[in-house]
Structures are given as structure tokens and as C-alpha cells.
Amino acid sequence: MSSGVVQLRMQGAAVEAAWTDVWAWIGSLPSWQGFVLVVGCSVVVAWLIQVGGDVLIRRITRRVPGDVDSAVFGSIHPPLYVTVVLVGAYLGIELLVVEQGTESNAPLRAALLTLLTLVWAYSLARMGRRVSNELTGDSRFDSRVVPIFQNVWSAVLLGASAFLVLTYWRIDITPLLASAGILGIVIGLAARDTIANLFGSIALYADGTYSVGDFIVLESGERGRVEDISIRSTVIRTRDDMLVTVPNSVLNTATITNESEPQRERRVRIPVGVAYGTDLDHAETVLLGVADDERLVLDDPSPRVRVRGFGDSAVDVELLCWVNEAVLRGRVSHRLFKGVYAAFTEEGIEIPFPQRVVTMSEDGVAGDAVLGSASPASADGETSGN
């Protein structure tokens, strides 16, 4: 055994002996004096932990980059001095009722431990949420795993707290463990949707379908940004600023379009028709000029114009350009459509629309034709055979 370990054991034994002597001296005092002394000392120690802890946390968090350490220390600090006060109050009360024996203090001890467990469970759950929020905005961590970490952390805290509380009150958990098989079947049948949502969230993470902050389009047509991924559901904020909650089991089997992956940039398509006989090179130059004037349109990839086909009344042309985020597509499309219309009007480029002519024959039978849709052969009065 090393000398360091021996020294630590000796120091621990010395501290234990000193505490025994101090507690014996306090026990020799009148019960009310011992109560006041113990509770007063615990309040003073708690105050020192609170004040000194704030100073220590500020010093530590200045040296460590990021805000995760601040979230951890800030969450653990309050239950520390609360624990000191509660333990001091318990020891003081124990001095008042020492003549009743140790067993009479068992309910008080169980109540104190239950309260401490709830305080620490709440503080640790709050710490998990704060750390998750910090890690979500940190590029060094995969934001998709953060919600699952928070869910698992909350589940572990809930299970551990329940187990400890049952132990404090001397409730035998052996029958619960023995009937776990039957209980599991019952819970599985009663909470099959919840279990399906849990495995759905794990499957969504494993597949990398989306993460918090992504802009997605659901199979039903809903579009929005992912706000939160929990064990049961995913919360989406739509363009109308409404929160839509969708069960993970539904999303796991649905078709989802992630407009934020594999890259944030998204292409905007502006279809437009120009009249037959229009100089297509001139129309292309005008369309590119409209795209260049829009500040939200990216220069790289550069805008381009493509001729898509010959329609009944117009030559189908499409302006293609890129924006930084999918959420900007609607705004940029609005601006580009207005810009194209104004530029074509200024340049005298016609945007045709279908027109229908109805003619009446001498026998009163009506006939109709779409202007511009007839072929040159039929225009000369000739018919083409099949």
C-alpha cells in the first residue's frame, strides 16, 4: 500500500474522531441549545457555499471556453446549500428527540432523504435541459443526439429517484421485480403508442432524417422548422408561426423532405412563358438581370436560364437561382416574380395567355379553337394524316 493512501486514511480517521468529539460535546448541551447551534451553523455554512460558490463558478467559467460548464455548475450549486440546510435541520431535530431512540426518527429520516432526492433530481434534470440547449448550438456536437441524450437522462433520473424513495420508506421492491414480466406485457399493451414513439425517435436519429433547426416538409404538406425532438413527438414551427406536434411513430413511417440537408442552400425556380417570336437571348439577359438585382440570390452557384419547351401559347422558360436557406424561397420567389413582370413590361417582352375563339357555322353548330395552337399546315387549310 502506498504512503499516500495510508496518509489519506489517517487523515480520514482523524477527521472522523474530531467529528465524534464535536458531536458528543453538542449532545452534552441542552437539547434546545444544540438545536440552535446545529441549525445556525448549517445556515452559516450554506451561506458560505452560496457566496463562495458564486465567486468560484465565475472564476472557473472564465477559464473554460463555452457555456456548458456554467450550466453544470449553475445547476448543481443551489442544491448544495439547500442540502446543507436540510441536513442541519434534521440533525437539530434529532437532538430534540434523542430520548425517543433512533427508530422513532426513521420517518423523519425517510422524509428528509425523499426531499433531498427530489431536490437533486429536479436540479439534475434542469442541468440536463440547460446542457442540451448549450450543446444544440455548438457545432462540435451532433445536434441530432442532444434531444435523445436529454430524454435518456430524464428517464434515468426518474427511475433512480423512484427506486431510492421506495428504499427510504423500506418498501420491498422484490415483488415488483418478480412481476416485471407480467407488468411489462401490460405496460407494453397499454402504452404501445408511447413505445412506438420512443423507438421511432431512436430510428429517426439513427437514420439521420432531421435534427433540431432543420426545415422539413411532411407528407401531408406541412412545412416548418424543427423546434424540439422528444421521446414521444417532434414539434415543428410552421411558416404561419404555429407549433405542430407530430408523433415520432408517424414520422418514422412517413415520407419527409429535409430541405436543410445535405446543404443549406436551396434552388428557386421561376417559370415564365414568352410569346413566340421573342428574342430568347434578350429574354435570358433580362431574367439574369432581375436575378442579379436581388440581394438574397447567391452569386455562387450563379443564376441561369433554361428553355423548358414549347407550350400551346408560349415558349416555356425558367429562371434558376440559389438562396442561403430553404425558408427564404417563398420571399425570394415573390420578389423575383414581381421583378420579372416589371422587367418584361419595360423591355416590351410579351407574356402571353391562352385565348379561345368560338365560331358559329351556318347550321348553328358551335366550334372553338385555341389561338396560337394550330400548326402551320392546318393554318393553310391542309390536314395531316396519321
pLDDT digits (tens, 9 = 90+) for 145-168: 676 677 778 888 988 898 898 888
Q: What mean pLDDT do residues 287-306 have? A: 94
Structural domains in the chain, CATH included, are 10-167 (no CATH), 193-258 (2.30.30.60), 266-347 (3.30.70.100)
* Contact between 234 and 245 (Cβ < 8 Å): yes
Per-residue pLDDT band for 377 (boundaries 50, 70, 90) equals very low
**Lowest-pLDDT choice from 82-96, 145-159, 343-357:** 145-159
- Is pTM beyond 0.85 here? no
How much is the pLDDT for 364? 58
> What is the percent of the chain where pLDDT is above 90?
24
With a CB cutoff of 8 Å and minimum separation 6, the contacts of 104 are: 97
Is residue 167 within 8 A of residue 235, CB to CB? The reply is no
C-alpha span between 75 and 300 (Å, rounded): 46
Tell me the chain's radius of gyration from C-alpha atoms: 37
Q: Is the peptide bond before 65 cis (omega within 30 degrees of 0)?
A: no
Does the structure show a pLDDT above 80 at 361?
Answer: no
Task: Say whether 45 sits in a helix, a strand or coil.
Answer: helix
115-119, 184-188, 212-216, 263-267: which has the minimum mean pLDDT?
Answer: 184-188
What is the side-by-side strand order in the sheet with 215-217?
Answer: 243-247, 233-238, 223-229, 215-217, 257-258
Are 302 and 281 in contact, with CB atoms under 8 Å apart?
A: no
Residue linked to cell 423575383:
336
SS3 (DSSP) at 215: strand
Q: pLDDT tens digits for 22-62?
A: 777 777 777 777 778 888 888 888 888 878 776 776 666 56
Average pLDDT, stretch 127-149? 70
Assess whether pLDDT exceeds 60 at residue 366: no
Q: How far apart are CA 217 and CA 67, in angstroms?
A: 33
Please return the burial class of 128, using the count of CB atoms within 10 Å of its CB with bins 0-12, 13-18 and 19+.
Answer: buried
| Percentage, residues of the chain above pLDDT 70 | 78
Q: Which three cell numbers stand for residue 188?
A: 407494453
